[in-house]
Structure 1
Amino acid sequence: MNGGDVTEQSVYRRLREVREAFDKPESLAWPEISRGHLLLMMVSPKKQHQLVAHRLRTQLEPQLGTDLVLMPATDMEDAALGILRVPYLVVIDEEEATAESDAIDPRRCHLVIEIVSRSNPGNDYEGKLRDYPAMGVPHYLIVDPRDGTAVHHWAPTRRSGEPAYDNRQHYTCGHRTVNDTAQLVRSWRRQRGMSQTRLAELAGTGQAAISRIEFGRDLPTLALLDRIASALDCRLTVAFTSSSGQNLP
């Protein structure tokens, strides 16, 4: 470990101590730590922000089943990187939720959701888009109430030496963007009384791949989705829509 590493760790530990002693006003969210800075953010009282938050929770919770937990505003920490973030919503295993540590291990989460702040949108679109792939967060969904859009980022990698996500998909809010594929595959498989292993055999893939799809960890290719649909005696339909939500001819 070089001198720079020691200094960065010392700064992080000091910021951690300051955060623990912080007398948080009601109008502020809990501070986050990133790259040697303590970040203070306002809690949004806007009804549009709260409505989006309500819809996300009510949409996502029924899809999780008994093994996954939806945690609001919970510390997620990578001390080695000097990063502590507080995602608006994060999906983790029940096992991780009951672990002894105070903070979530980012490499054990399945999905992080942030609702863009009007006062500081760069924190979600830039700061967290840099930090979350570095921390190993597999899926990051940014929901923006300002223009009714959402962006799903997944597959952490490095690009030009910097942490980044390898894939992204844009949506308009109102579409069921979170774990739709997982819910559909899981629901149809159970209706058919089929195990993950049997579905994997029929679709020409592995059981682990089916498990990752059903838990929202992977987005399958259209080719694999087509084979899964055939194995479940379903038909895969792909449609393009305009920005107004109408189907295109």
Structure 2
Amino acid sequence: MTTTLMDTSSAWDVLEDANLPEGFRVEITDGKIIMTPQGEQQWKVILRAAPQIEQQLAGHGDILSEVMIDFPSSLWGYAPDLAIIAPGSERNKRGRFEWHSLEAVLEIISLSTRDNDFEKKLRMYAECAIPLYVIIDPSGNSCVVHSNPTRTGVYTDQEEIPFGEDLVLPLDGREIVVKTDGFPRSEG
């Protein structure tokens, strides 16, 4: 069976009855199930960024962390480190949000996820027209904000923000500012 970008099945369907180990992040890339343990730096960034975002959303949208999102292909199942859900978005019949509900995705990279975050996820998020994709890189002490997605899998604009400067997320009709000075930094 050939799978296209607009399949109605969810990549997550294959895991419906699976007994997965706790403490591991599970995602599906190119139809392959990938399990990785969450790193300390990743957890610390989420812990510092999520409350800032949630407070500024003030009921105009929502923030999720490592929650399954349905994408328009059975080959891709991502649970972003942080996902900002647009106001008024509704869950599908599976009880999950879909890609078109996302205003922004923030991924904290590690050595084990680097290729997926910089290549595969970047392409998929752009193809799905997710307005903002932010890659947070503790080893590089910076964030890269990708914006203006194209259906060809490219974001036409990118801006690098060093840790210590404010990370500004221009959302539809509002702006979220995340202070990055408390993000864990690489000593290298």
Q: Same fold (TM over 0.5)?
A: yes
Task: Kindly state the Cα deviation for residue 137 of structure 1 after the two structures are TM-superposed.
Answer: 1.1
Distance 1:67 1:142, change over 3 A: same
Determine if contact 1:107/1:135 at 8 Å carries over to the other structure: yes
3-state DSSP class of the match of 2:37? coil
Counterparts of 2:113 and 2:160 in 1: how far apart (Å)? 21
Which structure carries more helix by proportion?
Answer: 1
> 1:24 corresponds to which residue?
20
Unmatched tracts of structure 2, length 5 or more: 177-188
Distance 1:62 1:135, change over 3 A: same
> 1:112 corresponds to which residue?
105
Which structure's CA Rg is the greater one? 1
Task: Kindly state the Cα deviation for residue 61 of structure 1 after the two structures are TM-superposed.
Answer: 1.9
Matches within 5 A, 1:16-165: 16-30=12-26, 32-44=27-39, 46=40, 48-80=41-73, 82-96=75-89, 100-158=93-151, 162-165=152-155
Determine if contact 2:10/2:71 at 8 Å carries over to the other structure: no
3-state DSSP class of the match of 1:155? strand
Structure 1 runs of 4+ aligned residues shifted over 6 Å read none
> 2:182 corresponds to which residue?
none
Counterparts of 2:77 and 2:43 in 1: how far apart (Å)? 24
3-state DSSP class of the match of 1:41? strand
- Residue 168 of structure 2 is aligned to residue 178 of structure 1: yes
Give per-residue Cα distances to partners, 1:101-137, cap 9 Å, x unaligned: 4222212211111111232311211121111111221
Higher relative contact order (CA 8 A, sep 6+): 2
Counterparts of 1:143 and 1:102 in 2: how far apart (Å)? 28
Which structure carries more strand by proportion?
Answer: 2
